[in-house]
Amino acid sequence: EKDLFLEWALVHGNYYGTPKGPIEERLEKGIDVLLIIDIQGGIQVKNIFPEALLIFLLPPSMGELQQRISDRGTETIETLRSRFANAEHEISYARYYDFWVINRSLDEAVSQVRSIIVGDRCRVGRAHSRFKQLGYDWPGLESLEEPKSEKETT
C-alpha cells in the first residue's frame, strides 16, 4: 500500500498522504504540482524527486503562529500544546528547504510562492524540457544543462 503514496506521514495523531499516480501523471505532462505537506512529506518528496523545490512557509513569529492556531477554535488545549511543541521542531527543518516565505499575509505569501515557481521555470535546466514539450527544436538544444555549482566543478 505504501507504493500508492508519493509521501505519507503521521501528523498530530492523524495519517496524511499524497497519492502517487495523479502526481506522476501531471509531472509526465510537464504540469507543475504544488503540494501542501509537512516536513516529513517534504523530505520524502525531495528524496524521490531531487529537482523538486521545497518552499517552507514560516509564521511571522511563534507568538503569531500560536495566536492563529488558537483563533481557529478547533483545537483542544492538549492538541494546542502538542502543535506548538511540534512547530518548533518543524521550523528547525526549514534550513533543508530551497526557499523560505514568511506568511505575514495570504496575498503576499501567494505572490512570493508564484514568483519562486516562475523563476524556477526559467532556469536553463528546467526551461530546456519545457522547450521540448512545446515542440521547439533547434541545434544545440539537447546540450543545454543546468549550470554546475562550483562544488561540482572543482
Kindly report, residue by residue over 21-67, the tens digit of the pLDDT: 999 999 888 888 999 998 989 999 999 999 899 999 999 998 998 88
Residue 112 included in any domain: no
Residue 5 included in any domain: yes
- DSSP for residue 39: H
Q: How many domains does the chain have?
A: 1
Residue 139 included in any domain: no
Q: Predicted confidence band at 153 (pLDDT cuts at 50, 70, 90)? A: very low
The yes-or-no verdict on residue 73 having pLDDT over 70 is yes
With a CB cutoff of 8 Å and minimum separation 6, the contacts of 122 are: none
Strands annotated E in the chain:
5-11, 14-19, 55-58, 99-102
Residue 28 included in any domain: yes
Residue 32 included in any domain: yes
Residue 96 included in any domain: no
Residue 101 included in any domain: no
Residue 13 included in any domain: yes
CA dist 39 and 70 (Å) reads 22
Q: Predicted confidence band at 77 (pLDDT cuts at 50, 70, 90)? A: confident
Domain of 8, in residue numbers = 1-38
pTM over 0.85: no
